[in-house]
């Protein structure tokens, strides 16, 4: 049974990856809003229901929010005595440093798509709030107003850096943009 399960998992992962890479190519070539789920599915060689078995929407291909566990793992690498904003900045820098080159390139592609799609730029604020909530959920003490504001501001700075990176077509290092955005918070 294990062999069948492993084979099924590999097939599922390969299909998931195929849908993802195909969608990014289509979004880059034609624009996010001009590409339908049906077109992604057809180009990927899957049915529309199979697409939805892998992704709840085409938006989820581009805007991949972290999980509570991923946020917690990144924050756990930072000294707990630091302010929330400093912990988020350091976690962002660690996240980028650990990212394999192909994932870094995909991150750049996803953020270029977000930056050029007004509806996605607007939706980023919802993801910021959700991720700020994940940060607060991973803090050892109950969140107070200061922590809430720090987490929300840190996520706004993160988004500003990512959008500046995408708007500049990756000409500047993302790490520099993170540093600049977080310095603006303390100015």
Check whether residue 105 and residue 164 sit in a common domain. yes
Check whether residue 32 and residue 108 sit in a common domain. no
DSSP assignment of 17-85 equals HHHHHHHHHHHHHH-GGG--HHHHHHHHT--HHHHHHH-SSTHHHH--PPPHHHHHHHHHTS-TTS-HH
Taking all residues of the chain, what is their mean pLDDT, rounded to a whole number?
Answer: 91
Burial of 156 (0-12, 13-18, 19+ CB in 10 A): middle
Residue 80 pLDDT grade (very low, low, confident, very high; cuts 50, 70, 90) = confident
Domain count, the chain: 2
Check whether residue 18 and residue 54 sit in a common domain. yes
CA 109/CA 103 separation, integer angstroms: 10
CA 51/CA 41 separation, integer angstroms: 6
Token code pair at residue 16: 């998931």
Distances in whole angstroms, Cα of residue 46 to Cα of each of 18, 21, 31, 52, 154: 10, 13, 21, 10, 39
What pLDDT is stored for residue 1 in this prediction? 56
Least confident of 82-86, 101-105, 115-119: 82-86
Domain with residue 19: its CATH number is 1.10.10.60
Least confident of 2-6, 84-88, 102-106, 149-153: 2-6
Contact 115, 121 (CB under 8 A): yes
Domain with residue 149: its CATH number is 1.10.357.10
Check whether residue 78 and residue 35 sit in a common domain. no
What pLDDT is stored for residue 167 in this prediction? 93
Encode pLDDT of 1-48 as tens digits: 566 788 899 999 999 999 999 999 999 999 999 999 999 999 999 999
Domain end residue (candidates: 45, 60, 75): 60
Of 1 and 138, more confident: 138
Handedness of CA 160, 115, 37, 61 (dihedral sign): negative
What pLDDT is stored for residue 56 in this prediction? 94
Task: Tell me which residue range forms the domain holding 11.
Answer: 2-60
On the question of pLDDT at 83 being above 90, the answer is no
Domain end residue (candidates: 44, 60, 76): 60
Check whether residue 163 and residue 92 sit in a common domain. yes
Check whether residue 105 and residue 169 sit in a common domain. yes
What pLDDT is stored for residue 12 in this prediction? 94
Check whether residue 91 and residue 151 sit in a common domain. yes
Check whether residue 43 and residue 128 sit in a common domain. no
What pLDDT is stored for residue 81 in this prediction? 84
Of 185 and 115, more confident: 115
């Amino acid at each position: 049974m294990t062999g069948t399960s492993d084979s099924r998992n590999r097939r599922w992962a390969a299909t998931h990856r195929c849908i993802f890479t195909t969608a990014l190519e289509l979004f880059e070539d034609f624009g996010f809003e001009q590409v339908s789920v049906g077109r992604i599915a057809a180009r990927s060689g899957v049915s529309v229901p199979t697409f939805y078995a892998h992704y709840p929407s085409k938006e989820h291909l581009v805007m991949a929010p972290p999980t509570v566990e991923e946020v917690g793992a990144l924050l756990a690498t930072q000294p707990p005595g630091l302010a929330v904003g400093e912990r988020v900045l350091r976690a962002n820098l660690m996240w980028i440093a650990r990212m394999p080159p192909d994932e870094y390139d995909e991150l750049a592609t996803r953020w270029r798509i977000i930056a050029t799609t007004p509806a996605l730029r607007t939706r980023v604020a919802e993801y910021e709030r959700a991720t700020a909530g994940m940060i607060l959920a991973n803090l050892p003490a109950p969140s107070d107003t200061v922590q809430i504001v720090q987490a929300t501001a840190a996520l706004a700075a993160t988004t500003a850096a990512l959008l500046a990176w995408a708007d500049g077509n990756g000409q500047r290092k993302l790490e520099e943009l993170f540093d600049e955005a977080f310095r603006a918070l303390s100015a």
